[in-house]
Amino acid sequence: MIRAKRKTGLVFFPAFDWAISPTHPEREERLLYTQDQVMEEGLLDVPGIREYRVRPAKYSDLQRVHFCVPDEPSMATESHLISAGGCLVAADAVMKKEVESAFALVRPPGHHAMKVVHGNRGFCNVNIEAVMVEYIRDVYGVKKIAIVDTDCHHGDGTQDVYWHDPNVLFISMHQDGRTLYPGSGFAEENGGANARGTTINIPLPPRTGEKGFLYALDELVMPLLEKFEPELVINSAGQDNHFDDPITHMNFSAKGYAELNARLKPDLAVLEGGYSVEKALPYVNVGIIMAMAGMDTSTVKEPGYDKHYAPQAPDITDYITNLMGTLKDQFLINPPAPHPAKNGEIITTSKRIFYDTDMINENQDERLVRCRDCAGALAIDSHSSKGNKMMGIHIPKDACPMCQKTAEKWVNEALDNKKFHHIFLQDRTKCTYEVLR
């Protein structure tokens, strides 16, 4: 009799009644064949694999992470709430020790959604991993968490949310931003002033194969995790690195995904992208579920594998070997030096963000307290091409008195400034979110 070696929870939510638009990659059909394959394999009958029912997340779950402009109801539809809620169900299952690990096989995805949300970016409105992480922190008191994003696209949303947070290690392995949306995720992007080195980007060349992914995992990701010592490891398990994916140029496989998962052993995995709905997703998902459950995955492969998968080319192998050498040096041997600014100094930065799905431009001016005692108070002055002007003030979970005081001052300044249509205060020390205007 077969049995899962590790008790595994599965939250499956294919949202068969939701699409961005009828022919969009993010459409009703996306997980149809995955469902067929999972059902036909009989995976849900395997003792030790338990399926959970989704529940919708609440707006207050989103407010731990985002500044939704103008408000949550206009940014998050029912589908986004359910997808995020699916992650919360998975988190509960693991944190209550009902299972050893859990996989939220849900859609729509979330890793391109940033801290401020004016609309849909890269098919995402709500950062479902971040909503899950902040929920786990509030409800279960977990402090140090690592997120390993293995989607083909740079997880720029998750990077943005945790840019200043030294207690969340965010590692993204993705197709080089010079060749793919969203065009970011270079090694130089290594965290904000108070969190140097807790953002790690591994930009892999197009045509990276099984060998390259697993090499990067073994050489860099695993040692980084070992060093960071997280209490919990989360995998943003995007599946668009697959050799058959229509919108990317990588060369990964179901076997590779299963092996990666078996080595990484995440406590929680969350589906992100993956648009080869028929030839990749069914097999990749079966592989991941089986790997999480500690089952032998050697019999899992795409029907087209023998014909269409070409082992990684030697030039790619050389490139990746060199790249890993450089990155190991940058992050493991000579980790980034702390930011030179003095304690208490205010660091200002500006950036522009483009929302590809909704065609919105956003300008952000950010102020951060350089702080050695906490993640630093943060004020984001954001206005979008839709005309919305917002001020969002964030007090981190472990905020020191100095940062709390600074945030208070910023709030008063903002209230005096007539230009803002919306003023939000996200106080993570008190777990509150106030709409001040």
Partner 1 sequence: MILGLDVGGTQTDAVVLEDGHVRAHTKTVNRPELLETLGQSLDKTLAGIEPDKIQRMVFSTTMATNAVVMDNMDPAGMIVSAGPGMNPEWFSVGPSYHVVEGCMDHRGTEVMALDKSQVKEAIREMEKAGVNACGIVCKFSVRNPHQELQLEEWLGDQFGYKALGHRFSGSLNFPRRIATAYLNAALHKLHTKFISSLETTLTERGLNAPRYLMKPDGGTIRLDKSCEFPAQTAQSGPAASVMGALALDGCKGVTLVLDIGGTTTDMALVLDGLPLWVPNGIRIGEHRTSIRSLLTRSVGFGGDSEVRVEDGKKLSIGPMRRGEAMAFGGPMPTPTDAMITLGLMEEGDKDLARKAMEDIGAQLSLDAEKAAKMILEETTKGMTKAVIEFVKRINSRPVYTIHEVIEGIKIDPDRIVVLGAPAPIVAPMLEKAFNIPCVVPPHYQVANAVGAAAAKVTAEISLQADTQRGSMVIPEVGLESAIARDFTMAAAMEQAKEALFSRGLAVGADPGDQEFAVIEKEEFNMIRGGYRVGKNIRLKLALVPGLIPDCNCGGQQL
Catalytic residues: 112
Binding mask 351-380 for Zn ion (x = CB under 5 A): --------------------x-xx------
Comparing CB distances to Zn ion, the nearer of 46 and 407 is: 407
55 lines the binding site for partner 1 (CB under 8 A): yes
Residues 6+ apart with CB under 8 A from 109: 26, 83, 123, 124, 128, 151, 238, 271, 272, 273
- Closest separation between CB of residue 3 and Zn ion, Å? 33
Which of Zn ion, partner 1, none does residue 153 bind (CB under 5 to 8 Å by kind)? Zn ion
Which of Zn ion, partner 1, none does residue 374 bind (CB under 5 to 8 Å by kind)? Zn ion
Q: Which stretch binds partner 1 (CB under 8 A): 160-168, 190-198, 280-288, 324-332?
A: 280-288
Binding residue for Zn ion, selected from 240, 267, 302, 381, defined by CB under 5 A: 240
- Give the total of residues touching partner 1 (CB under 8 A): 49
401 lines the binding site for partner 1 (CB under 8 A): no
39 lines the binding site for partner 1 (CB under 8 A): yes
Q: Which stretch binds Zn ion (CB under 5 A): 226-234, 320-328, 336-344, 401-409?
A: 401-409
Q: Which stretch binds Zn ion (CB under 5 A): 81-89, 163-171, 228-236, 238-246?
A: 238-246
Binding residue for Zn ion, selected from 66, 80, 137, 153, defined by CB under 5 A: 153
249 lines the binding site for partner 1 (CB under 8 A): no
Which of partner 1, Zn ion, none does residue 23 bind (CB under 5 to 8 Å by kind)? partner 1
- Closest separation between CB of residue 115 and Zn ion, Å? 18
400 lines the binding site for Zn ion (CB under 5 A): yes
Binding residue for partner 1, selected from 71, 98, 218, 296, defined by CB under 8 A: 296
218 lines the binding site for partner 1 (CB under 8 A): no
Q: Which residues bind to partner 1, rule: CB under 8 A?
A: 1-2, 12-18, 22-23, 27-29, 32-33, 35-37, 39-43, 45, 51-56, 78-79, 82, 246, 278, 282-283, 286, 290, 295-296, 298-303, 305
